[in-house]
Structure 1
């Protein structure tokens, strides 16, 4: 993984540092695959690091506090993320994506909080890098289904099948056209960042342990190392909730055992 260059407080007139985007991604209960950096083809193999960048460290905290609707802590985490180099576009994309995991109400509330944070920082003379919108048009119709199916297959490591999809085939259609299509085709947030957000949100949500375990595996498939994921757990324990960290630790332990990597 190409590590990001941390960015400190950006005042008006200060020259913003460059942010390196590694295109990767995260998703539902079957995820994983890879996009390397924005300028590189999606099929390139990500380079694994042993530590999270300062920018990456902010993402699971933002996600966890969004999932629990803890607005004071979310406010702090959003400020820390912007200070660490997240662009406004990336911050918005994290909160938009997570509606698929924790619901529209929490997503809308979190986006409103981000809007307030950005406005307050601007009033204090802090210039936050706006970032960019997706670099290509999102396909529609049959082309969207084709793109979503390809993304889903790549991230899950093969065709997604199972009793639940036979029982309710429409849910997989929604996954392929919307989650893996509409959302994952948006290249303004790298796949590793999407997985970090998903892990943070699911760890903070009781009752979704199997999906959390799947996303731990997905995180490693998109290039995050077990050491980085243990760092996520430590961050959640330090800045979040004890039960959130315990769920994340159990899921990673199980994922490592399933992948044959042990501890």
Structure 2
């Protein structure tokens, strides 16, 4: 009897180890099955992070896992295109090339991936600068100021203020393939993965909260970064998130 019991125990252990290894190969670490982020959102975080860092072998795994989770090709394309505004054209283009190779391999293996909806035509004929200002105001919850910036980097470099409003918040954020919440999840994931962009991460965590991403979800995002991308970046992101939440509580109570 004792010998049979030992055999059963060994069998259970081997099965569990094999199951956990299979889960690990599907992208995120086993201890990161989150309660509030669904699998598509988890994959959004890792896809955006590995695009930003240029870790293409890891990106391949996450792209395939994201497609398996139900993200459409156009949703993933949109994430990768948006990434260039935060980490540059080279990273974005390499991400798109990686997605193309993943799709080719999956097609050869018999997978049929959904491309999903295309972006709707933009019918707003107002100047793009004004449209971008309006979208940024909607994201921030603060009324757009009249005219152009009179201080800060926008006054120092009117050109980049124009590019930011007209291109990022008009050309990109107006495209309805992704929601504002999805776009902010992409942006925050990218900024969590990069060094030296703490002020921008703080700002976009605020925007993410404004468009419906919860504090718990943001905390789970920092855990995904810690466990799967870089522990140092995850710790910095947690610290910034804690500070943002503290400041929002102070503003709410004043």
Greater gyration radius: 2
The residue aligned with 1:151 is 135
Report if the CA contact (8 A) 1:196-1:219 is conserved.
yes
Of structures 1 and 2, the one scoring higher in RCO (CA 8 A, sep 6+) is 1
Residue 77 (structure 1) aligned with residue 62 (structure 2)? yes
The residue aligned with 1:168 is 157
Greater share of helix residues, 1 or 2?
Answer: 2
How many angstroms does 1:188 deviate by? 0.5
Partners of 1:152 and 1:81 lie apart in 2 by 28
Alpha-carbon distance change, 170 to 234 in structure 1, aligned in 2, over 3 angstroms:
same
**Once the two structures are superposed, what CA deviation does each residue of 1:156-210 show, in whole Å capped at 9, x if it has no partner?**
2223654222212222211111111100110011111111111111111100011
Report if the CA contact (8 A) 1:138-1:182 is conserved.
no
Report if the CA contact (8 A) 1:55-1:86 is conserved.
yes
Residue 249 (structure 1) aligned with residue 205 (structure 2)? no
Partners of 1:139 and 1:101 lie apart in 2 by 25
**Once the two structures are superposed, what CA deviation does each residue of 1:19-65 show, in whole Å capped at 9, x if it has no partner?**
xxxxxxxxxxxxxxxxxxxxxxxxxxxxxxx7111111111111111
Secondary structure of 2:115 counterpart: coil
Query: Superposition pairs for residues 1-263 of structure 1, below 5 Å?
Result: 51-137=36-122, 139=124, 142-158=126-142, 159=144, 161=149, 162-260=151-249
Partners of 2:228 and 2:72 lie apart in 1 by 22
Partners of 1:69 and 1:194 lie apart in 2 by 19
The residue aligned with 1:34 is none
How many angstroms does 1:247 deviate by? 2.0
Report if the CA contact (8 A) 2:173-2:183 is conserved.
no
Alpha-carbon distance change, 261 to 76 in structure 1, aligned in 2, over 3 angstroms:
farther
Partners of 1:191 and 1:197 lie apart in 2 by 10
How many angstroms does 1:148 deviate by? 1.4
Partners of 1:237 and 1:211 lie apart in 2 by 19
The two structures, once aligned, show a CA RMSD in angstroms of 1.7
**Once the two structures are superposed, what CA deviation does each residue of 1:217-237 show, in whole Å capped at 9, x if it has no partner?**
111100010001111111112
Report if the CA contact (8 A) 1:138-1:185 is conserved.
no
- Gaps in structure 2 of 5+ consecutive residues: 1-34
Partners of 1:57 and 1:261 lie apart in 2 by 30
Secondary structure of 2:127 counterpart: helix
How many angstroms does 1:144 deviate by? 2.2
Moved over 2 A (4+): 136-140, 142-146, 156-162
